């Protein structure tokens, strides 16, 4: 598939859901893709990208940023506290705030710099032991804690269990966001982004459907 096809499918999903055209942000997940592929997608006009590793992003985005205006970078992978400084310097949004310690480190960096990327709190909607994220039962308290630290909490993010129908997970994320007055939902990937838009996604994270299968 191509960027144009995915953009068109996203426009149709917005229309079907009664959402304004262009209101859902398409994050092109470029992790592990070769730089030539990323450059192609930049050439096609895409400016919003997602990476899951700070180091990989550091190694290639400064070059792209020098060549293309208006790039917006989103961190969608787990963030270690020792990479937090590099992450806040590099990214416009962090989708993976998943523990108190990281919230504290981000809050300290935000104070020091007088600026902070937009923050999404990752919720482990499937309560999977191996997966990062705040458990749904603990989400209200965690959101309050993060806000009390003056972090710019913009919304919630989830990665539903691979083998399950994602719809109940998207609905749960939406319910937690709504009762906490959060408008933004980072949910939906290549296989389910249209469903996610129908259920309220404001940010979809689409990798392989735009770039092709990841080989690395
Ligand atoms: C890799 C990744 C994606 C993109 O997955 P695709 O199935 O290739 O669209 C989205 N979100 C996260 C958190 C990822 O790690």
pLDDT tens-digit map of 131-148: 999 999 999 999 999 999
Structure tokens, 60 = 């290639």
Predicted local confidence at residue 99, as pLDDT: 98
Confidence check: pLDDT of 216 > 80: no
Does residue 190 line the site of ligand 1, with CB under 6 A? Answer: yes
Report the b/e string of 138-177 with b at 16+ CB within 10 A.
ebeebbebbbebebebbbbbbbbeeeeebeebbebbbebb
Q: Note the pLDDT tens digit of each residue in 70-109.
A: 999 999 999 999 999 999 999 999 999 999 999 999 999 9
Confidence check: pLDDT of 30 > 80: yes
In angstroms, rounded to a whole number, what is the distance separating the alpha carbons of residues 154 and 147? 10
Distance 205 CA to ligand 1 centre (A): 6
3-state helix, strand, coil in the chain (%, to 5): 45, 15, 40
* CA triple 31-209-200, angle to 5 deg: 95
Predicted local confidence at residue 214, as pLDDT: 77
3-state secondary structure of 96: strand
For a substitution probing ligand 1, which of 50, 93, 186 has the most ligand atoms within 8 Å of its CB? 50
Q: Give the single-character DSSP code of 20.
A: P
Mean pLDDT (the chain) is 97
CB atoms within 10 A of CB 198: 18
Distance 111 CA to ligand 1 centre (A): 31
**Contact residues for 76 (Cβ-Cβ < 8 A; gap 6+):** 27, 29, 31, 50, 51, 52, 95, 96, 157, 186, 205
In angstroms, rounded to a whole number, what is the distance separating the alpha carbons of residues 53 and 108? 21
Does residue 196 line the site of ligand 1, with CB under 6 A? Answer: no
Distance 207 CA to ligand 1 centre (A): 6
Does residue 52 line the site of ligand 1, with CB under 6 A? Answer: yes
Query: What share of the chain has pLDDT > 90, as a percent?
Result: 96
Helix runs in 139-216, H state only: 139-148, 167-179, 193-198, 208-211
């Amino acid at each position: 598939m191509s960027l144009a096809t995915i953009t068109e499918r996203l426009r149709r999903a917005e229309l079907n859901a009664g959402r304004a055209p262009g209101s859902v942000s398409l994050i092109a997940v470029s992790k592990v893709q070769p730089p030539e592929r990323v450059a192609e997608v930049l050439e096609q006009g895409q400016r919003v990208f997602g990476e899951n590793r700070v180091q990989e992003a550091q190694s290639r985005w400064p070059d792209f940023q020098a060549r293309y205006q208006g790039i917006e970078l989103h961190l969608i992978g787990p963030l270690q506290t020792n990479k937090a400084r590099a992450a806040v310097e590099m990214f416009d949004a962090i989708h993976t705030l998943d523990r108190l310690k990281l919230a504290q480190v981000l809050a300290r960096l935000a104070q020091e710099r007088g600026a902070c990327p937009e923050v999404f709190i990752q919720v482990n909607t499937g309560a999977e032991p191996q997966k990062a994220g705040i458990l749904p039962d603990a989400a209200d308290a965690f959101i309050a804690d993060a806000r009390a630290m003056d972090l710019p909490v913009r919304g919630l993010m989830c990665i539903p269990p691979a083998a399950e129908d994602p719809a109940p997970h998207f609905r749960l994320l939406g319910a937690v966001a709504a009762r906490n007055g959060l408008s933004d939902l980072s949910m939906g990937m290549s296989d389910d982004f249209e469903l996610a838009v129908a259920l309220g996604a404001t940010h979809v994270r689409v990798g392989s459907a735009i770039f092709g299968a990841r080989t690395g």
